[in-house]
Structure 1
């Protein structure tokens, strides 16, 4: 959600200008007035994944509506407007919006009146019309016939606060029961949220707004939100809680009395020195907790001299106003009977059952409170430090609220922060998993593909949330994108196996990343939704013989795509046009390594091997350095190590060429058939069961090991290799020490990455021919 102060500015600007001229029609102008829910979808595939993720929240269970968009080629935000009788789809119109694909079996034609078109798709008819360059479609023709401009300035201003960078946004109109917001009251006119999804977590933020002076959030008018200090007394195993907060109880109570139409003296006097009140549910019963500003004053008001018992040094007293909270704080808090209480530090806790109070005292003394709970801490980063109104539910509490299965969501909170005549909303709905012990390695998830895996799993970045995802190709040449939680987001049929690794580029220079790679006769650029980009794929008659090389010489996203065909190099830009300034003459031998780009100082070098020659070119494809002597290359790649172009010869010797063309050769002490990899300063080599990391040599069990891989993550270097015989994955640090709890089970080379952008790394490997296995390293 954009800064919510924007909402206030927009309201004033639009009201002052609306009478002067008529603005152009925008999407909010044609949203039907009958819509009770409006969903703005920014990332269609990701929203489909969220909708089909077994979420128990009915507001995002819109699979049927999303699936009916397959006939549309969506490239702009899509608005889905839901009413009791029908639904409508609104987006910007373009000539390519209606997908022309014979496999969809869709036919488009113009109706006889009102400029309404229809497209038959999967035996359903989508009707639509174009209103001032905006597409308005529905599977209900009457909705399209009635479509017209509706001047709803308040809705328009609210929608302008949404952020296209989020997964989507949802507007709820006059909806009291809202499972996503964990509420079944508060008579708001509009609730609007920006929503995002991560593995096992839904997060959102937005606004709740009403023009009704009796809007219950207005009870917090002229008060200041407070820090959630009551979390220090509420037990960690609390099922559910509702909490209100204010800096001045007198102001709050007057506001609430005016809204409820109840006398002010109906609210207990002892609350006058409080700034937080919470109702919460424990396994032994319900309780009220109060944070007192003045402990001595509240003690005096409560008359704590009548002692029921002393439990673990804490006095439990009789409370002589057991019905004090029946309706006095409605609709926020209501409890029928609070006969007993205790005071601990600044906290007052009241309940009907003394056993409930004993349970709360024990948890406090054992530091098992909500504030110390890892589960609650896991969602705290998505919340504001201070709030006016907060609702929390664990799995059991959510089950009771929904009256149906909660599907593992066990850490769920929504908070409201009052601001003038509306409130900010922050929400987290999470499937919390207890953190494993330090240094442990646990299986996080597995994903099984329909066919055997051909190209090993690798990770790519998700530009929307800065997490990482997995790409993999099967023997049927299907390419899959798998989320950081293990869900298959899409699959795409390719013409052949991918050569080398999948790279990523930002072809439009807007922060959105695409996948780029080559097969034997194609160069692909694919967007996040699995669709081909621009003029790609490029088709080639002659075979591509090395992985596609992607160069960004000056880090300005002016990409160059270098295609290798046996002895030839072809340079293209992102428009699939040949770069005329690159004029490499055909090599005398087949090019035997992938061309790589290195920058040393201010100079660029394009480096590869052909025959027994190391070619070192400039940007134009001309020879920049002539390397002395011939090299009997071993088949390993070329690396930049110690500012020298480095590889191995067939004897396993380290061959390095400096920027003057001087060649040096030295032994690694491992012999022929050595596999190696380097960073700029770290060299790792493997021969049979001997693994060399820098100057250290580790003797592994005898086996069949994959080439070592180096990963630099979270300011540390890690090295992985897999014994294919024993099916064990090894991970070492830069000092050649095996990490705790390794080796682990795996059948292929492994990749390390921080998939979920949280603490700890993930290790990606396979457990069989079809199954990707991801381990969490804690």
Structure 2
């Protein structure tokens, strides 16, 4: 490695990177800091300080078979600089330094004894300062300079040397012929065959290194001798391509090795050429079950394939891995496989998510044929079972692994849509031949249980540190006779806070609408009805699969009501936008004459009343012309409703309350409250009327209506005489939401402001005040967990968090959670072990959490 400014680079790592804390979890980094501190502190007031701003080259060398030694080379600026350093070493040294000198091949070698550190050996030759902890390595360097042979004689090295950038933080040179031996001390010897595979990348590589505050970037070229670079031979004339395979790779994948090319027949021919050049073709041809196998497999392949570890926790890496091939078409691929198997394809089982989703699983009768091809391109080939989905074939060694992959695709939970992956992908070129990705947090399970490197066998603290990195990515693309490479390690601590959900279902847009848990009248289980910001409505199964979607012209204003329109125990979905009332059946189709066009824009969400529980429905809605309209279930206006116009706009949902045998239709505008009977006539005249808070519902307790005014004070309206009494709470003009819970003698009054939730008892004593560091949506949902236990649900719009609050003001366990909407809680299936919490999530996902 060539470092352009040692002191500057050192300060950048320590002071300008966001991931210093994570690096400090590893001993090798702390050793680096310790030794660098000793070196810099020891020379800061000496002539040696001059070299810290010079170009430094560091090379690593194997020493025996158990260690690696480093050699540091400084190009001195002139003879004067060399002389001043030599004079310093010969003189009286401060800080307890001691120097011994000896001669070697007409050169002086100085042994510097540093306090509390290893000794260093120093020499000068041809204007270069040589430093190492190994005296043998210094001697080898002196002999190298004096010899007639130089690294510059290596054609492959010279090619990459010419591509070296001059203004980067550092330049890294890698000798692939030496790397296996250099890395072996970090691994068990059984890994040596895999390490030797690195030689096939080429002979030399140069990477320009740039240290950023949130990532480490390397890019450069790999060169090789003509027959050495395996990838260059296999991808000869296979130009780099745009890759789309991330659209089918599960978002939780830990390892990805993807190949992209333009012609599968060219890939086949190049593989054969490579095998022939390396005397491997004969065994390769013998490995097929018949002479057509190779051609049929390449025939079904289109332009990319990938080996993926899908992070299925219950399975080992190889059991949880899969191979995905993009096909030209599913039908053509099935035809090719039938010819390969010499019989029609016959499914062995099915993956059935629900009654509507059934995907066939097949047994691969030519497993060895696939292994024979892909063993030259991949570390291993999972291929025992396979399934088709979206013009791709997924191969895996277990049916369970295959089901997990299909489930992720059905829900759209793939890495392509992951926001962190989108940020990560911006570090790479748009076209590629090879892409490798590693989730650093899960890297340990892919290595020997007891490697000698703590980076590969991290402890709990180190695992937590690695989890703050999104991952390591390596991209390769052919470029004439070399490979161009991009490498990135991305720091992303927010990734460690990804929600731990049962499932996440991909929508077209984000969700700010409260999900509605609705009843499936066939299965008696629950489903989810949701609308996204593009005004698309979705019906989603308990497993997260989208049953149907329907585009509306406007956002939904109301709650989702279910009615039995035909009185046949089959349910439909009723709701409104500002210009229409909709009634959809469970297949998403409009019922009869719906949607009903409104003559004026709706100013509130519709209210549905079934006065006598006989399915004679009444639909109430307020409009911009100050009218309140009443419809029957068929969408016809009820002529018997005689209500006068309101003085101002009605924005709150109209309410129906029955008390002592009387019906009260209740709503309010900004100045006045209206309490009417079923015909729209005034049932109760309020004495000393008040301005009701526009986000406060009305409740009935002990023959009194309860709500709040615009000053966040509770108002009681006596249903006997219309008298109004007041209980001051906040007594200040403040935007707020009010609700209450009344069970027997226990009553709780709940106020929500932008950053606080307040709970009062029936004597109006404040029992809890919960401060939220964010901006709360002015709403609170009440969830009744039992006859005596309720929870309060609120949503922080600023930080995209949801809170479930106990009635004593404490947070329910495991909250807050990530979420970007109000949420619903209920049982989705008949197996009522835990509640399901459904909420909008980031990146256009709908989240399903479990709540115990």
* TM-score of the pair, normalised by structure 1: 0.43
Q: Which has the higher strand share?
A: 1
- Which of these two proteins has the greater Rg computed from alpha carbons? 2
* TM-score of the pair, normalised by structure 2: 0.40
Q: Which has the higher helix share?
A: 2
